[in-house]
Amino acid sequence: MKSENKSSNKKKSEVSIKNKPSFNEIETKVLVLETAGYPFNFGLLEGPNLEIADKVLFEQYAIDQWSGTNVKTGSFLFDQKIIPDFAFKIITAYPEDSGIGENTSITIVTPENESQDSVKRVKSNVFFDDIVGQENAKKKSRLIYKYLQDPEKFGNWAPKNVLFYGLPGTGKTMMAKALSNELNINLFLIKATSLIGDHVGDAASKIHELY
């Protein structure tokens, strides 16, 4: 009789464990991510400014990479393909403690502080004398320098905007750094794509926020 009771209890426990779903068996329905960057910060490693070109393609990329991974709000997922060790913070996971599957909807939201983080002060030790070549660009940059030093000397004429143009690697950013250092003023860099919005007036409002 005792042996029968033991075997029956064992069967009951096996059945209860078998019927209890694991986290991976509960598929994540909605997963909202936010870019978090790398776990370390040093000069040789800079976090990329990610721009999702195709939301559907990114969703498939994420599912293929993280399929079966248990997720919950506040935890992190690390990319191991295109940008190894780049982290994504989980803002929302529904249901909690579930596993990413083929039917999981994955989206990336814009961080609340992205507008502030995307505008960063650039520090450098570059001056006009450090730039080789580009004499015409340096000449015009020195004209701007003279104007800002003594605006009254130029009367009604004044440069309202400055546009450095040319192929990648021709020194546009370096020239801007040199000009800011010559004038001893702050230089802030921002990507033009971050100013583009989905609706009319978005770009104007974003530019207004910069100032």
Q: What 3-state DSSP class applies to 75?
A: coil
pLDDT at 25: 75
205, pLDDT greater than 50: yes
Q: What 3-state DSSP class applies to 153?
A: helix
- Is the residue at 1 inside a domain? no
For residues 46 and 96, membership in a common domain is answered with yes
- Is the residue at 182 inside a domain? yes
116, pLDDT greater than 70: no
Angle between helical axes of 135-149 and 172-183 (0-180°, round to 10) = 30
What number of other Cβ atoms are within 10 A of residue 107's Cβ?
15
11, pLDDT greater than 50: no
* Of 181, 107, 106, 183, nearest in space to 144 by CA: 183
For residues 43 and 103, membership in a common domain is answered with yes
Query: Can you read off the two tokens belonging to residue 162?
Result: 């400055």
- Is the residue at 8 inside a domain? no
For residues 105 and 124, membership in a common domain is answered with no
Residue 145 is inside which H or E element, if any?
Answer: helix 135-149
- Is the residue at 211 inside a domain? no
For residues 97 and 124, membership in a common domain is answered with no
For residues 105 and 40, membership in a common domain is answered with yes
Residue type at 170?
T
Q: How does DSSP assign 87-133, residue by residue?
A: EEEEEEEESTTEE--TT-EEEEPPPTTHHHHTSEEE-----GGG--S
For residues 153 and 100, membership in a common domain is answered with no
- Is the residue at 162 inside a domain? yes
- Is the residue at 101 inside a domain? yes
- Is the residue at 129 inside a domain? yes
Q: Specify the range with the lowest mean pLDDT, choosing from 40-54, 152-166, 167-181.
A: 40-54
Q: What 3-state DSSP class applies to 163?
A: coil
Name 32's bridge partners. 92, 107
Gyration radius of the chain over CA positions: 28
Residue type at 7?
S
66, pLDDT greater than 90: yes
End of a domain among 84, 109, 134? 109
Mean pLDDT, to the nearest integer, of 131-140? Answer: 84
**Count of structural domains, the chain:** 2
Query: Can you read off the two tokens belonging to residue 139?
Result: 């000449």
Query: Can you read off the two tokens belonging to residue 182?
Result: 């010559």
For residues 72 and 134, membership in a common domain is answered with no
CATH of the domain at 90: 3.10.330.10
Q: Which residue has the higher pLDDT, 158 or 70?
A: 70
Domain that holds residue 165: 120-189
Residue 33 is inside which H or E element, if any?
Answer: strand 30-37
For residues 81 and 152, membership in a common domain is answered with no
- Is the residue at 195 inside a domain? no
Mean pLDDT, to the nearest integer, of 38-51? Answer: 64
8 Å CB contact between 90 and 121? no
For residues 55 and 132, membership in a common domain is answered with no
CATH of the domain at 139: 3.40.50.300
Q: What 3-state DSSP class applies to 63?
A: helix
For residues 104 and 25, membership in a common domain is answered with yes
- Rounded to the nearest 5°, which phi and psi values hold at 90? -85, 115
d(CA 126, CA 172) in angstroms, rounded, equals 12
Apex CA 38: angle with CA 37 and CA 43, to 5°?
Answer: 110
Residue type at 167?
L
The whole-model pTM stands at 0.45
Query: Can you read off the two tokens belonging to residue 41?
Result: 């910060």
